[in-house]
Chain A
C-alpha cells in the first residue's frame, strides 16, 4: 500500500531537477520563466528542487562537455527510479551550433538516455511545459511497470513501456 501511495503521489506531483550543461543561459532562463506567474508550471503540481535524491524528472539544457558529463552522470545516478530525462533546446538535442567545438561531446543522449526532446533555440516556455507533460505521461507508464521493495524500486521484468 505504501508503495502505491508513493507511486501515486509521485505521478501526481513530480519534482523537477534542472541541470545546466554548457547552455548559453537562453534555455535556463526559459526554464525558470516556467516557474514564474505567467507560465506557472506549479499548477501541474511540479516543483523545482535542488536535490537529485528528491527528483523525478531531470531537465537538461545545453550541450554536454567533457567536464560536466561527469556531473550529469552523477546526478542521473543519484535520482531514484523510475526517472525521466527531458532534453531542452537545440544544444541538448544535438550540440546545436556548438557541436563542432573542441570541448563539446554532443547532445545529452550521448551520455544518458533521453525520454523527451524539446527543440528550439531557445525553447519557448510553452514548449518546455509541453515537453514536461509528455515526460509525465511516460513517467506514469514507467511507474506502473516498476516494483519497489523497502522503498527502493527495482526493475520489473518489462522495464520499457
Chain B
C-alpha cells in the first residue's frame, strides 16, 4: 500500500490539491497506535487508482476537519469522533459524539485503553 506521509498542518492544503486534481474522496481510516497516538489515513481515488495520505496525531492535538474541502468527509469524521474520541475542529455538521453512540457508552470504544469489551452500563 502506497501512502504519502504528511504532517497535520499540511493536511487541508494537501486535500485542496487533491480536489483540484480531480480526486474523489473515498474515506478515512483511523487506527489507535497506543493510548494516546492515532494514525489517520485519507484515501482518495482517481481513475480507479487509490492514493493515501498518512498522518499521525494524538488526542491533545486535534486535526483540522477537511469538510470545507470535501464535504463528504463529515460522516466519517463524526464516526471517528465517536469511536476514537478525537476531535475535528471546523467540522461542517458536528454531531458532537452522538452519531452512533448514546449516553450509555461514553468511552471511545476503539481506544487502546478502552474499558472492558462490553460496557457495564449495558445492563
Contact = CB atoms under 8 A, between A and B. Distances in A.
Interface residues of B, number: 10
A106 B117 CA distance: 14
Interface in A61-100: 66-67, 100
A103 B117 contact: no
Contacts of B102: 66-67
B117 A100 contact: yes
B80 to A, nearest CB: 16
B18 to A, nearest CB: 33
A21 interface: no
A105 interface: yes
B117 A102 contact: yes
A66 B105 contact: yes
Interface of B: 100-102, 104-105, 109, 117-119, 122
A102 B105 CA distance: 8
B77 to A, nearest CB: 19
Given A102-B118, A103-B100, A105-B122, 11 more contacts: A66-B101, A66-B104, A66-B122, A67-B100, A102-B105, A102-B109, A102-B119, A103-B101, A103-B105, A103-B109, A106-B122
A100 B118 contact: yes
Interface string A94-125: 00000010111110000000000000000000
A153 B106 CA distance: 41
A100 B109 CA distance: 13
Contacts of B119: 102
A101 to B, nearest CB: 8
Nearest to B110: A102
Among A100, A104, A105, chain B packs the most CB atoms within 10 A around the CB of A105
Contacts of A102: 105, 109, 117-119
Contacts of B104: 66
Contacts of A103: 100-101, 105, 109
B42 to A, nearest CB: 26
Contacts of A66: 101-102, 104-105, 122
Which 10 A-B residue pairings sit nearest by Cβ, starting from the closest? A66-B104, A66-B102, A102-B109, A67-B102, A105-B122, A102-B119, A100-B117, A102-B118, A102-B117, A103-B105
Contacts of A104: 122
A104 B109 CA distance: 12
A103 B101 CA distance: 8
Contacts of A67: 100-102
A104 B102 CA distance: 12
A100 to B, nearest CB: 6
17 contacts: A66-B101, A66-B102, A66-B104, A66-B122, A67-B100, A67-B101, A67-B102, A100-B117, A100-B118, A102-B105, A102-B109, A102-B117, A102-B118, A102-B119, A103-B105, A103-B109, A105-B122
